[in-house]
Amino acid sequence: MRIAGRVALVTGASSGIGRAAALRLAEAGARLVLHGRDRRRLSALAGRTGGFPVPGDLAEPEEAGRLAAEAGRLAGGVDILVNNAGVGWAGPFSGMAPSDIERLVAVNLVAPMRLTRALLPAMCARRDGCVMFVTSIAGRTGVAGEAVYAATKAGLDSFAESLRLETRGSGVGIGVFVPGVVQTEFFQRRGRPYERRSPRPLPVDRVADLLVETIATGAAERYAPAWLRLPVAVRGAAPGLYRWLAARFG
């Protein structure tokens, strides 16, 4: 897909993968609509990229609809939607408050569905556009201590795959970007830092490069790093072996 001159809406743009991807999209010539919760960071990014800042919280039920309307008012529509915003939570499921469950489901799963529902019809009518979902390797394999987070990302995977089949021949690309461990503030915000020696976190700028490349090439999915396909393949081909290895090595 040609990125130059297109309008790209990036959620979760005030930090992490979203911010880095927005910078890469701007370098590629996209016009940006930037959504995030941190007004100061969002404003600074907008000043750097020339984008339109739209601060807000996707945990709010009406926020996705408001964001879609604002994108139309400010930029005249959206050609590329990057559903990147997400929140995490780490710890035993039995210790998770119901409000935290609801927030993860609202931000990670319901909001991307609502935002896609608001913007996809116009893309299909133009027979041109791209909807990219940033999921997680947790959604492909499951992770102890992140049961709800993994479930929301698995749901997003299934939603994207189903949507891809439904929109086949429409001219709109549906993509899934599956990152592993990335050098962002995500782990501090989820309540537990990343403490494993391997795999080593990927630089966020490298991840953003791969994400924008996935949009440009129209690929259906992309792992970052590519070797993450291996545990997913093992889980599919030999689930018993995968569960033993996961229990043994984490």
The model's pLDDT over 177-214, given as tens digits with 9 standing for 90+, comes to: 999 999 888 887 887 877 777 788 999 999 999 999 99
pLDDT block averages, 10 residues each, the chain of length 250: 96 97 98 97 98 98 98 97 96 96 98 98 98 97 94 98 97 97 85 79 96 97 96 93 83
User: What is the C-alpha separation between 62 and 77, in angstroms, rounded?
Assistant: 19
Q: Which of 149, 194, 223, 242 is catalytic?
A: 149
Amino acid 83: pLDDT: 98
The model's pLDDT over 236-248, given as tens digits with 9 standing for 90+, comes to: 999 999 898 888 7
194 among known catalytic residues: no
Amino acid 190: pLDDT: 80
Residue 50's Cα: distance from chain center in Å?
Answer: 22
Amino acid 240: pLDDT: 93
The C-alpha angle with vertex 193 and arms to 190 and 199, in degrees rounded to 5, equals: 115
Domains and CATH numbers, the chain: 7-249 (3.40.50.720)
Amino acid 187: pLDDT: 82
User: What is the 8-class DSSP label of residue 193?
Assistant: -
